[in-house]
Structure 1
Amino acid sequence: MNTVNVYIKGQEDKELISFLRYFPSRIKNIGMDAVFDRQIVYDYKDGRNHLEVAKCVAKFLVKKFGRKICNVVFSCIPASSPERNEMRNRHFSELVCKFSGAIDGFSHVSVIGERTAVHGTKIKKEERAKRINEQNNIEIDADFFKNKEVCIWDDVVTTGASFNAYVSQLEQAGAHVTNGIFLAKTSYKYVLK
């Protein structure tokens, strides 16, 4: 998987990358490469292809941090419910940390209740950010994250609102977020290769 640079306003001091381009299902006129990438995203969300994705993420982390990786916390942006978060992120986070040597932050973040998932919904950027902020049901162990270097993972980045909200929460607890890694970056315009 090749990496794609990601730009999120307000996060210029962080290295942000994604491995794939994700075309929402409403985008119909795409090639087989995009269909294949979309299926990787769906499989990840359903908890199926964690091993291969974890190997790619771990390889990136080791290349980025080298021997310092043992001091970096790997933290997944929680899914919209405790059940989805468990299915999507627990085993994946364990694998990434096992392969890379990073510190697993999964057990230091919890999801309380459920919020409406914002991926795949046709809403304006401002409304998406408002929903994320209003429905923040993420609790973090502030003592654990304080003064730690943190690398954040999320499956799909569209506007960056979820990433910004999670970064803000971690940094308010005293963490230093250095990176954002995403399985896929949402795209709407497909260009034939």
Structure 2
Amino acid sequence: MNMVKVFIKGQEDKELSSFLRYYPTRIKNVGIDALFDRQTIFDFKDGCNQPQVAQFVAKELVRKFGRKIGKVVFSCVPASSQERNEERNKAFSALVCKLSGAIDGFSHVKVSGERSAVHGTKMKKEVRAKRLEESNTIEVDASFFRNKIVCVWDDVVTTGTSFCAYTAQLERVGAHVTNGIFLGKTSYRYVPTY
């Protein structure tokens, strides 16, 4: 898979990359390549292809960190609730770490409360305002993350808000977040890749 460079304002000191371009379902005039990438992302969210994605992520981690991989913590941006976080990230994080040799940070992050998921939905202004009022609390184990090199994973990056908020929280407790890896980077203008 070719990696797509990701730019998030304020995160220029980090290497950010994505495996796929994600075109939301409202973008209709796309080719078979974009439809395949979109389905790959949907399958990941449904837990159908996590072993294959874990292999790609592990390979990218080893490429980036080499022999230092055993000192790197792999941590997923938490999902919207603890239940969703466990469904989507627990086994995936464990498999990525088993394949790469990275340290699994999953059990050192807890989510309490719940907020609505946003991917795949076209939100009206009133729905978006309601979502901003909802909240969940993400608790990170400060003693675990302090002075650790951390790679942050998220399935889809659109504006980078979730990545930035989670990275800032990790860095406040003393972690050194060096990079972010995403399965998909949201794009709105289709460019064929074949």
Same fold (TM over 0.5): yes
Classify the secondary structure of the residue corresponding to 1:113.
strand
Classify the secondary structure of the residue corresponding to 2:151.
strand
Native 8 Å contact 1:132 1:162 kept in 2: no
TM-score by length of 1: 0.93
CA-CA distance at 1:84 after TM superposition? 1.3
Structure-2 separation of matches of 1:35 and 1:150? 32
Structure-1 separation of matches of 2:132 and 2:49? 27
Pairwise CA RMSD: 2.1
Q: Deviations over 1:64-104 (max 9, x none)?
A: 10110000000000111122111110110011000000000
Matches within 5 A, 1:4-153: 4-122=4-122, 135-153=135-153
Q: Deviations over 1:15-64 (max 9, x none)?
A: 00000000111111111111110011001111110111000000010011
CA-CA distance at 1:119 after TM superposition? 2.4
Structure-2 separation of matches of 1:68 and 1:136? 34
Q: Structure 1, unaligned stretches of length 5 or more?
A: none
Q: Structure 2, unaligned stretches of length 5 or more?
A: none
Runs of 4+ in 1 over 6 A off after TM superposition: none
Classify the secondary structure of the residue corresponding to 1:47.
coil
Structure-2 separation of matches of 1:75 and 1:35? 28
Native 8 Å contact 1:109 1:140 kept in 2: yes
CA-CA distance at 1:141 after TM superposition? 0.6
TM-score by length of 2: 0.92
